[in-house]
Structure 1
Amino acid sequence: MKIIRIATAFAIAVAVAAISSLAIYWLTASQPHFQDVAYAKESSRNTLDVHLSETAAEPQPVVILVHGGGFRSGDKARPSHLDDFLAAGIAVAAINYRLSGEATWPAQLTDVTHAVRFLHDNATDFGIDPDRIAIFGQSAGGHLTATSTFDLAAQGANIIRAVVVWFGPVDFNTMDDDMAASGQGSSDTDGPGSPESGLIGAPVGENPELARSASPLTFLEALPEDARLPPILIMHGAKDPLIAARQSERLHDATAASPSNGGVRLEILAEGTHGGGEFNEPATIQAVIAFLDDKLGLEL
């Protein structure tokens, strides 16, 4: 009986500790200074949160985080690497956008570009610097980060000063072949159930032109002669089992060949997976922060 009581007490103590840790998390890092701010009116998903750094003076440089989730899931809550950015003196603006279950392409692009413009135009209200805005996306968020950067450049809106793209899909029509050639597995992007098919509202394999219209490469090719792109850092895992590293190579090569190229660098992480492996190593996010430091000029 005594053993049971001790075990019960221990279990309660563990539960209390877990709850206390969760409460501390929600009361600190997860609580933005500005929460659920509407940046557009097309959807209830058109909201963003702004987290300010406690170590940097205002106006602060800011990185806009575009979440992943295969275009059909994901949320701005608990943004990736939040503490690392804040500790480096970089404010974080985490945004939501319409998911493919609510609206198909190009609704997602419209949302991200609206969010970027909104933050730039209202920077003073948030304590951020309109001249030091970066954007960072992973997976589906990487696709949207690249495409929105090219789209804004085409419009002559030179708002974004630095871009980071992690393992994003780039050319839907070549994803299955690239995956097969990588030796890391297979994919069925062409099929009706893929995230990319969901994004465009039709099977990729049966609608190559529609799929091409949603590619960042298409937006890159359409840039006017006088457009200028910000510096771009692309990172991908060689062991990615979902999106082959060749997709990021395609983005790098096309950007490097563009007359609008403002500087592009590709890093293939030998032990990186789709957000795992080397992407979990502190050195990887520190490389991103060093890139932002160089392009935004951080001041702690």
Structure 2
Amino acid sequence: MSPQEESFFPNLEGRKRLDLIFKWIFFSANLVGLLVLLVLAVKIVLDSWGWLDVQFITSFPSRFPEKAGILPAIYGTVYLMIITALFAIPTGIAAAIFLEEYAKKSKFLSLIQINIYNLAGIPSIVYGILGLTVFVRWLNLGRSLLAGGLTMGLLVLPVVIVTAQEAIRAVPESLRHAAYALGATKWQTVRYVVLPSALPGMLTGIILALSRAIGETAPLIPIGALTFIRTIPKSPLDSFTVLPIQIYNWTSRPQDDFRAIAAAGIVVLLAVLICMNSAAIFLRNKYQGRTKEL
């Protein structure tokens, strides 16, 4: 290597070694996280062995371990996620479209944006207190499934808004200009150009938001999600329980059998989460493929 090249690439070998060291450090950090997750998953599956069966999934909770089931919690979790999604997804995407496509840049808009970012980091118990005040008491919804779903919707709404905004910003301006050049209106451009292109990124945010909501318990405790219920909710105004609260109830019992039942409940919760995320990922990849074809 000539003197000119040496001056242009100072200590190139040392930087390569440093790059290799950090590569293995980061790989080791990922490996540790995966190993811990694998150990936890294996332990939970082993603890649940012999308890996770059809009788467990189709039965109601009981004070006797051999008769205990998780059916009401499964229904309550699924219904709660449906209400949460119906509230948070359209509201969040509509708010993101307004903030990115229609609202004029101003100090007030910047203040709104900062508050949205701050709301995403507020402890979840605060949303439970808000849901108790607004939905349970002011709107007289009672300690119902609808009140719980709206509370969880508020919890994940900032995440949906922020990720939807990022997805809309990622759409190239050239696509908007092309639509305007063809005579499209603002709404036609948003409806037929921006939203289809941003939809895969939005679905990624929705997956993250609903994954957080399905495992939360703190917001539901203030509004009265029950730890022991032997009925399946038949309307949005019925009382309910969810998988995380049912699992917590079992882990607090003194009998060792209930801890094994709690492990079986965790397996069911993970199965519901995987199914929900798989459906969302399928839709994301489907629309992502259509966008690439366009």
**What TM-score results when the alignment is normalised by the length of structure 2?**
0.24
Q: Which has the higher helix share?
A: 2
Q: Which has the higher strand share?
A: 1
Q: Which has the higher contact order (CA 8 A, sep 6+)?
A: 2
**What TM-score results when the alignment is normalised by the length of structure 1?**
0.24
